[in-house]
């Protein structure tokens, strides 16, 4: 059975003070929650605070992005996989829709980051998902296929999926307050798992596929109850400790 996983994506939010308050709130409440893996992904500049606050707790931490070059070297403004590992990160989000749409990250670049992260010792959280116009045009599955195929085509991509997490995040549901219905989300999760099973049934049965897109404590339970949904990637609601902890509890089995 797959163990649930709830991860918070803090995006470009927080100050040193507010992040420390959030970290200590999450740490103190998470200790009592069992049956779910929990992680937070602060902005790069706050990862050191997470490492200090969360060491020895049941909350892991990770990055929101990484450079596709292993480095070290002349890549101004970038953060390497080694730097994330040095700060004790276990996870890294790759291919978040904001990276794809606002910063032009291609499927191929995302796939390269995904493989580099996994091969270097991080567990990548690969985000996939369709835009509103793509859903309305009925091409959701084609979009997901394209995003997954880029990973399959990358050398080492299929193997990397053995130590990875996928997050299905319909772009129209991210930060909008719109949530896919549990049935809509389940249908896409099942599709993703089928596509993975075409390549490797054991990997497909074991990989965790998270749902992301306006998850809150009020809807987490019914979403996480779907058979192919193994937890959530949480944006806005992960910025309040109580709310995030309630979502983690909804994931606990
Ligand atoms: C996200 O950014 O990954 C996300 C799911 O955001 P939100 O929960 O705010 O929709």
> pLDDT exceeding 70 applies to what percent of the chain?
100
- pLDDT tens, residue by residue, 14-70: 999 999 999 999 999 999 999 999 999 999 999 999 999 999 999 999 999 999 999
Please give the distance, rounded to the nearest whole angstrom, from the Cα atom of residue 154 to the centre of ligand 1: 27
Find the length of the chain. Answer: 253
Instruction: Give me the catalytic one of 98, 105, 134, 169.
Output: 169
**Per-residue confidence band for 178, with pLDDT thresholds at 50, 70 and 90:** confident
pLDDT at 147 over 90: yes
| Percentage of the chain modeled with pLDDT above 90 | 97
Q: Is 96 a catalytic residue?
A: yes
Separation between Cα atoms, residue 231 and residue 210, nearest integer Å: 5
Q: Which atom of ligand 1 is nearest to the CA of 169?
A: 5
Cα(9) to ligand 1 centroid in Å equals 7
Nearest CA to ligand 1 atom 6: 235
- Residue 179 pLDDT > 90, yes or no? no
CATH superfamily label, 4-202+218-252: Aldolase class I (3.20.20.70)
Report the chain's mean pLDDT, rounded to a whole number.
97
C-alpha angle 182-185-188 in degrees, rounded to nearest 5: 150
Those residues whose C-beta lies under 8 Å from the C-beta of residue 206, and which sit 6 or more positions away, are: 2, 162
Residue 115 Cα to ligand 1 midpoint, Å, equals 23
Which residue's CA is the closest to the ligand 1 atom numbered 3?
A: 235
Q: What is the pLDDT of residues 60-115, one digit of tens each?
A: 999 999 999 999 999 999 999 999 999 999 999 999 999 999 999 999 999 999 99
Catalytic residue check, 169: yes
- Using a 6 Å CB cutoff, which residues line ligand 1? 9, 169, 174-175, 212-215, 233-237
Please state the separation of Cα 82 from the chain's center in Å. 19
pLDDT reported for residue 80: 98
Band of the pLDDT at 1, cuts 50, 70, 90? confident
Q: What pLDDT, in 10s, does the model give residues 129-145?
A: 999 999 999 999 999 99
Atom of ligand 1 nearest to the CA of 173: 10
Nearest ligand 1 atom, CA 232: 5
Contact 148, 196 (CB under 8 A): yes
User: Model-level pTM greater than 0.85?
Assistant: yes
Instruction: Kindly tell me if the per-residue pLDDT of 177 is higher than 90.
Output: no
All structural domains of the chain with their residue ranges: 4-202+218-252
């Amino acid at each position: 059975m797959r163990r649930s996983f709830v991860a918070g994506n803090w995006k470009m939010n927080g100050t040193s003070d507010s992040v420390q308050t959030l970290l200590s709130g999450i740490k103190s409440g998470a200790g009592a929650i069992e049956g779910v893996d929990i992680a937070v992904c602060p902005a790069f500049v706050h990862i050191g605070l997470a490492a200090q606050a969360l060491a020895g707790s049941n909350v892991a931490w990770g990055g929101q992005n990484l450079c596709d070059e292993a480095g070290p070297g002349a890549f101004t403004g970038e953060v390497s996989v080694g730097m994330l590992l040095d700060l004790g990160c276990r996870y890294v989000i790759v291919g978040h829709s904001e990276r794809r749409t606002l910063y032009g990250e291609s499927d191929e670049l995302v796939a390269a980051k995904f493989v580099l992260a996994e091969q270097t010792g991080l567990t990548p959280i690969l985000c996939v998902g369709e835009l509103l116009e793509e859903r309305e045009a009925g091409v959701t599955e084609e979009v997901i296929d394209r995003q997954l195929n880029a990973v399959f085509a990358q050398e080492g991509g299929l193997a990397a999926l053995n130590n990875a997490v996928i997050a299905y995040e319909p772009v129209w549901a991210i930060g909008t307050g719109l949530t896919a219905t549990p049935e809509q989300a389940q249908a896409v999760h099942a599709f993703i798992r089928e596509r993975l099973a075409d390549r490797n049934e054991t990997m497909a049965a074991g990989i965790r596929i998270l749902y992301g897109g306006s998850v809150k404590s009020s809807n987490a339970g019914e979403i996480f109850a779907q058979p192919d949904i193994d937890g959530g990637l949480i944006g806005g609601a992960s910025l309040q400790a109580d709310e995030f902890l309630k979502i983690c509890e909804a994931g606990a089995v």
